[in-house]
Amino acid sequence: MTDSYKIAHTEKNGEVNLVFSGQLTINNIEKIAAEVKEILEKPAAVNIQVKEVENLDLTFVQLIYSIKNSGKKNNFKVTLSVSLSEELNSLVANAGFDSFLTEN
């Protein structure tokens, strides 16, 4: 069975680049979170890009929030770039979670 999501990552000098795409939903969040935990052992910085998203839900928003919160607690910078369809942007904004998917 192939996964309906994709996490691409690179690392250089402790700076980790993560790219999330596909189905970023509760059906995949356990696997996504486990992969992210493995990738983010002790980063110096994390750059997150979210693109080519088919669907996302609150569980993925919580994961992004958790990564950003870990950065604050453990003194590593987290940057975030999110590119969603107009429909998903509206869904996130109407649910009140658009502020969680911004850089700050």
In 3-state terms, what secondary structure has residue 56?
strand
The CATH code for residues 5-101 is 3.30.750.24
Residue ranges per structural domain of the chain: 5-101
Which contiguous run of DSSP H or E holds residue 31?
helix 29-39
The 10s digit of each residue's pLDDT in 17-69 is 999 999 999 999 999 999 999 999 889 999 999 999 999 999 999 999 999 99
Note the pLDDT of residue 3: 82
Distances (CA, A) of 78 to 60, 70, 86, 90: 16, 9, 25, 24
State phi, psi for 55 to the nearest 5 degrees.
-160, 150
pTM across the whole model:
0.91
